[in-house]
């Protein structure tokens, strides 16, 4: 099974692009904090490359800006290409199927967004909690963590 769920912040504003066949696409990077701190005492993060298509791409580009926290669900996809210098480059992206706004922001509801004719990519309503069946909520702050 190839499924991934990430929670992070956008490193820059997503840009909407359209393929030559008219399909909307946006690429963006999520900064996902690691648990604990590094050797220098600073929090460390992984920068995960993501790509969204069609209505999902349009919604992300329209409603989200740099620094906005968001949860994405999707799958990992690898690929490769030949660079201009002749070397082979390898890529790893999360192909976003669903997303959820987190934290404060525009409060936009993505349930009104038309994802077009394809039903294989859907946008998640911000009120849909993927962890609702995991028991009672536990509130923690960074001060509560032992590291």
In tens digits, the chain (147 residues) has pLDDT values of 999 999 999 999 999 999 999 999 999 999 999 987 778 888 899 999 999 999 999 999 999 999 999 999 999 999 999 999 999 999 999 999 999 988 765 434 443 344 443 333 344 444 455 555 555 555 555 555 554
**Residue among 88, 114, 92, 110 at smallest CA distance from 101:** 110
pLDDT value of position 88:
95
pLDDT value of position 84:
94
pLDDT value of position 128:
53
Q: Tell me the sheet residues that pair with 61.
A: none
At a CB cut-off of 8 Å and minimum separation 6, what does 23 contact? 53, 54
Per the structure, the complete domain to which residue 108 belongs is given by 4-144
CATH number at residue 61: 2.40.50.140
At a CB cut-off of 8 Å and minimum separation 6, what does 122 contact? 55, 56, 97, 98, 115
Number of domains in the chain: 1
pTM for the whole structure: 0.67
């Amino acid at each position: 099974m190839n499924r991934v769920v990430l929670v992070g912040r956008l490193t820059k504003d997503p840009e909407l692009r359209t393929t030559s066949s008219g399909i909307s696409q946006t690429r963006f990077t999520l900064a996902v904090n690691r648990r604990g701190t590094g050797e220098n005492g600073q929090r460390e993060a992984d920068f995960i490359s993501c790509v969204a298509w069609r209505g999902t791409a349009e919604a992300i580009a329209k409603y989200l800006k740099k620094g906005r926290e968001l949860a994405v669900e999707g799958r990992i996809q690898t690929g490769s290409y030949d660079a201009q210098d002749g070397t082979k480059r390898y890529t790893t992206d999360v192909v976003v199927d669903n997303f959820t706004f987190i934290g404060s922001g525009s409060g936009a509801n993505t349930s009104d967004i038309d994802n077009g004719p394809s039903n294989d990519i859907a946008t998640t309503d911000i009120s849909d909690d993927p962890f609702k069946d995991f028991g009672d909520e536990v509130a923690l702050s960074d001060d509560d963590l032992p590291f």
